[in-house]
Amino acid sequence: MSTMMERYGTAMIKAFGTPQRVLVRGEGPYVWDAEGTRYLDLLGGIAVNALGHCHPRLVAAIAEQAATLMHVSNLFTTPQQIELAERLDALVGGGRHARTFLTNSGSEANEAALKITRLTGRHKIIAMEGSFHGRTLGALSLTATAKYRLPFEPLPAGVTWVPYGDADALAAALDDETAAVILEPIQGENGVVEPPAGYLQFAREQCDAHGALLWFDEVQTGMGRTGAWLESAAQGVQGDLVTFAKGLGGGFPIGACVAVGQAADLIQPGQHGTTFGGNPLASHAALTVLDIIESEGLLLHAERTGAWLASSIEAVGLPQIDHVRGRGLLRGVVLTEPISADIARRALERGFIVNAPRPDVLRLAPPLIVTTDDLQPFIDALPDLVA
């Protein structure tokens, strides 16, 4: 493995630091490294591997499509692209007029949505403190964390940040020059932070009052992660723009920007594009993921399993764990000390992949197929991991 690490360090741009392991295969909620050690993947590729690793139906669908047609360019369309767009339009639009733009990633989906906001004729965007929307320059301009943004300034201007969940601050910032308000229904990279009850509805009302678009970044929360197709819809609110990626392809790169109502008709031919976005291979993979989530009842499974996971962690009664927040299988374990990185390191040594997005928070985002039997060894190991 050391040789592989040395080759990585020589060959790759140093964007990610030193990898923790060299992984070589996966099955269900587990992965194996180059030395044969098995790990329970409690991060799911950062909420990407919704169906776990190598789900047989998804593998078969990708192989079948790869043997049929993989890429045609955006000068043509395919049945898979059209069907996926129709499915997403219905999912987000809820009976209202909606259109989809298919992309390769969450950042690219947010870039498309940002361009749509500019076509309103307004340039002011209200974003949330603690937010994360991607690394491309447009998406980065909406991301609150200064260390991500500062090395690349000047970025696209016109962004105002307000505290996440602060209704008074949002109301004070919104005016008739605001193009859109962008927010995550649950902030993932900030440590799985939930807004106060009614905050999304308040944002909807304020946007309506000022003629602004309400933009939900569901890249991490969407596609069943929280036990619902859309976390915003689960909270009873419809967005004008909704962006997806991560779990949409179950590991295959794909994203989507769905625009509803008047926002659906703002982009005209020639104003935006993508070479690979919505190709038949990616679209067929996403359609298969949607079918599997639906046919295997994974929305309800994620809701129930996530509730069990949260209550089981809290029931261990460790003084280092204050509480567990989040919904479904997107959970933040809130610690009483800034020891999350140490816990994540010890967990990896014990065969569990977790993530430390903040010094006092562990993030858990296992595959939607994970069972309580799969999770029980992690619960049993917690006292040693946090001690």
As annotated, the active-site residues are 132, 217, 246
**Residues 326, 194 contacting (CB under 8 angstroms):** yes
**242 appears as a binding residue in the annotation:** no
**218 appears as a binding residue in the annotation:** yes
For the record, the structure tokens of 64 come out as 């079948």
In the 8-state DSSP scheme, what is residue 193?
Answer: B
**145 appears as a binding residue in the annotation:** no
The reply to whether omega before 154 is within 30° of 0 (cis) is yes
Distance between CA atoms of 29 and 236, rounded to whole angstroms? Answer: 31
**16 appears as a binding residue in the annotation:** no
**221 appears as a binding residue in the annotation:** no
Amino acid found at 55:
H
Question: Where in 261-354 does DSSP place strands (E)?
Answer: 321-327, 330-335, 352-353
Q: From residue 129, give the alpha-carbon distance in Å to each of 9, 95, 142, 183.
A: 34, 32, 10, 9
**37 appears as a binding residue in the annotation:** no
Q: Rounded to the nearest 10 degrees, what angle do helices 372-386 and 298-315 cross at?
A: 30
Give the torsion through C-alpha atoms of 79, 80, 83, 86, to 10 deg.
-110
Distance between CA atoms of 316 and 321, rounded to whole angstroms? Answer: 9
Query: Around 287, how many Cα atoms within 13 Å sit in the side-chain half-sphere?
Result: 20
For the record, the structure tokens of 14 come out as 């140093």
**371 appears as a binding residue in the annotation:** no
Q: From residue 299, give the alpha-carbon distance in Å to each of 222, 223, 252.
A: 11, 9, 20
**333 appears as a binding residue in the annotation:** no
**Residues 47, 330 contacting (CB under 8 angstroms):** yes
**Residues 239, 232 contacting (CB under 8 angstroms):** yes
- Annotated binding residues for pyridoxal 5'-phosphate: 132, 217-220, 275
Instruction: Pick out the residues of the known binding site for N(2)-acetyl-L-ornithine.
Output: 135, 274
* Residue numbers belonging to the annotated binding site: 132, 135, 217-220, 274-275
